[in-house]
Amino acid sequence: MNISYMKKGQILGYFDKFPHSKVLFSPIKRYYFTSYVYWDERDPVVSQDDLEKMELLFNSYMGREAFYLKRSGAGGTGHPS
């Protein structure tokens, strides 16, 4: 995974599984969520499961995994939904 910083705290992420696509992460509260995928047709289609894995990996990389796992969308169970 590689990252590139953007305006307003947004960060572009690049993942090995999707080498030609860029994923835009935006901050919300104390973690980051996927706000847009600049998908390239040379890559496989990005599934919902892929998005959740990317969010978890990215938040872990940024030191925000605990906040991400406690988000309201996860039901507060400590596990991603």
**DSSP state string for 55-71:** HHHHHHHTT-HHHHHTS
Instruction: Give the tens place of pLDDT for each residue, 29-56.
Output: 899 999 999 999 999 999 999 999 999 9
Question: Residue 75 has what pLDDT?
Answer: 55
8 Å CB contact between 42 and 29: no
Mean pLDDT for the chain?
A: 89
Higher-pLDDT residue of 67, 4: 67
Q: What is the CA radius of gyration of the chain?
A: 12
Q: Which residue has the higher pLDDT, 77 or 59?
A: 59
